[in-house]
Homo-oligomer: A and B are copies of this chain.
């Protein structure tokens, strides 16, 4: 629930003033008891009170000012919270490269933007979600949250944690909303390296620079979208980093009794000497049931690394809404590995080619 705190205060205190001006305080506090288990040599299990199993815990401040003539300015500052221990969720890739927030302090790492909007669309500056990431979560029953989420992004080789999800120093553009169901956005972001004319080196001039787009069509029960992103990274002699290209195509159809969705994705990392590719897919369904919703999904991801490691995940969940803002939820997921893969769920460790099982039980409250 978002609330327009200030519109009223201004109206009433000042007597006049623009009702269009508002500051919104919003957030989510979501606590999850989660279990994860693995098997095989060296495996371990884990029980945790985690967070964000249904929706990402956060606190934020946003506002919008009407500038007249169809224009507006707005800001959005949003901090992730690890509410199991009170720390802030410190983002990796603050500079779209190796700079990481540390120490557990709150940052507006989920989003910190200032925007200008008109009938022509919106220009948005700062740190924000990379467009192509949306397809991973909009066409998955769990979005980015909990043990049920999709391997197409949790296993992705596509720079997850640097610019796979969010980018700093970004210039975003959003098409206006009145295009007959067509929507779209683009983003360009800077690595902010020194430009010194020197030849290839660890800190390449373009490292951390990138761009992404997403286009789609939503009309009535149907929603389909394509997204792609590319980020350049220094191609060092150690062959560990390189340019990352990610593409995905997702769609959903709402039958009323249930919403069916799916996504295909591929990622490519072009290093100095070698190239690594990954491919994934997911299908899912969410069905309202009384005050709740049932969710089921399957996702898979494989790469062409030695052995062609691959993981598959099945997940089943239920969300029980106590109100529009508050819900109880549970999810169970099982992940199978082969080709040498050893992905595991909820903090467990599993041996290569072994499976892992995870459970979530949680309480989510929006404010």
Binding site for B on A (CB under 8 A): 1, 3-10, 12-13, 21, 23, 25, 27, 29-31, 33, 42-49, 59, 61, 63, 65, 67-68, 71, 73-75, 77, 79, 81, 83-88, 90-91, 94-95, 101-114, 116, 125-127, 168-171, 189-190, 192-196, 322-323, 325-326, 347, 349, 363-365, 367
Give the docked Cα–Cα distance between A126 and B29 (Å): 10
Query: Which residues from chain B contact A171 at a C-beta distance below 8 Å?
Result: 33, 49
Instruction: Decide if B7 touches A84 in the complex (CB within 8 Å).
Output: no
- CB of A86 within 8 A of CB of B73, answer no
Question: Across the interface, do B61 and A59 meet the contact criterion of CB distance under 8 Å?
Answer: yes
Cβ–Cβ < 8 Å partners of A192 in chain B: 46-49, 347
Q: Tell me which of B10, B44, B87, B114 contacts A107 (CB under 8 A).
A: B87
Once the chains bind, are A48 and B107 in contact (CB under 8 Å)? no
Please name all residues of chain B whose beta carbon is closer than 8 Å to the beta carbon of A63 when the two chains form the complex: 367
Given A73-B323, A77-B59, A190-B49, decide whether A112 and B126 contact each other with a Cβ distance below 8 A: no
Find A196's partner among B8, B44, B110, B125 (CB 8 Å cutoff). Answer: B44
Copies of this chain in its oligomeric complex? 3
Q: How far apart are A83's CB and chain B's nearest CB, in angstroms?
A: 4
A102, A104, A109 interface centre (most CB from chain B within 10 Å) = A104
Closest chain-B Cβ to A365's Cβ sits at a distance in Å of 5
User: A25–B23 contact, CB under 8 A?
Assistant: yes
Q: Which residues of B contact A88 (CB under 8 A)?
A: 105-107
Residue of B nearest to A78 (CB): B86
